Amino acid sequence: MKSILLLIFLISFIGITQTTETPTKKEQRQEKKEIRRAKKDSLQSLPIGSYFTFDLLKLLPAEAPRITLGYVHSINNKWSAGTTLGIGTSDFIFSYKENYTSWELRPQVVYNLGNRRRFHHFLSAEVFYITHKETLFNNEFIPVNTQNGAIEAIAYDRADFERLKYGITLNYGEIINFSKTLALRTIIGGGIRFKDNIYSNLLNPRATESDTFLFNNLYAKEGFLIGFEFNVSLQLIYKL
């Protein structure tokens, strides 16, 4: 009888130890992965209210770089409105350009597609107005007056260039949270733009053959132009 009771006790003890044994390494890794995923989901589900923006792409050394700051105000869970202001100058930044100044004003209306989702998707409409002045050297452009096709392009040693551009774009974007205060805002879209390029004070102007590169250059053509505006933006945002 004692031996039977001892056998029952041993079987019960083995069963208990098996059910309480330490999880395997695979199970531990899976548990840690689930914890990280839960933290990430919790972070990305943070609500988005009002925030400041800083455009990272506009800082890159390009044809018209600018420091661009903005503010977007939350009206309710669906709608927001704001504006961005950009400035570029060779006086205290972008010194690799000669006599360069550029201003940008870009009001926007934002419609949030979802509230408290993992990624905050939105649609927006932006109206933009940009001015750009600069002194250019050793380049060429296609003039407004080609004298009935007799002049393909004009080359110069030095010229004052002025550009005025305005229009509207429709965009799609998303906000990815890094923390409760910092996030990344991406935008891509397109629309229509109106542009007027003006050349003046040309030094040593001369007729030349046009280069195919001109057609992909914002300085390429003189005069008033209507075309497609491609809009892409990568912004660091600080949430209030």
Q: What is the DSSP string of 182-238?
A: EEEEEEEEEEEEEEEEEEEEEES-EEEPPPGGGGG-TTSB-EEEEEEEEEEEEEEEE
Bridge partners (DSSP) of residue 185 are 175, 235
Model pTM? 0.76
Q: What is the pLDDT at residue 102?
A: 95
Residue 197 near residue 219 (C-beta atoms within 8 A): yes
Rounded CA Rg of the chain: 30
Residues 56, 27 within the same domain: no
Do 56 and 29 share a structural domain? no
Q: What is the pLDDT of residue 15?
A: 56
Whether residue 230 is found in the same domain as residue 158: yes
Q: What is the pLDDT of residue 99?
A: 94
Query: Does 27 share its domain with 94?
Result: no
Number of domains in the chain: 2
* 3-class state of residue 87 by DSSP: strand
Same structural domain for residues 62 and 127?
A: yes
pLDDT of residue 113: 87
For 9-45, the pLDDT digits (tens) are 555 545 555 544 556 766 666 665 555 554 555 455 5
12: containing domain: 2-39
- Ranges of residues in the chain whose predicted pLDDT is under 70: 1-23, 25-47, 115-118, 148-150, 211-216
Encoding tokens for residue 185?
């805002």
Do 20 and 51 belong together in one domain? no
Are 160 and 96 part of one and the same domain?
Answer: yes
Q: Which amino acid is at 67?
A: I
What pLDDT, on a 0 to 100 scale, did the predictor assign at position 48? Answer: 77
Looking up residue 54, the CATH number of its domain turns out to be 2.40.160
Q: What is the pLDDT of residue 87?
A: 95
| pLDDT value, residue 218 | 80
Are residues 84 and 8 part of one domain? no
Q: What is the pLDDT of residue 30?
A: 66
User: What is the pLDDT at residue 33?
Assistant: 59
Identity of residue 211: D
Q: Which of 27, 92, 101 is nearest to 64 (CA)?
A: 101
Are both 102 and 181 inside the same structural domain? Answer: yes
The predicted structure's pLDDT at residue 118:
57
Looking at the fold, whether 177 and 80 belong to one and the same domain comes out as yes
Selection from 206, 216, 202, 112 nearest residue 159 by Cα: 202
Q: Quick one: 34 and 52 in the same domain?
A: no
Residues 64, 166: one domain? yes
Per-residue pLDDT at 234: 96
Residue-level pLDDT at 165:
97
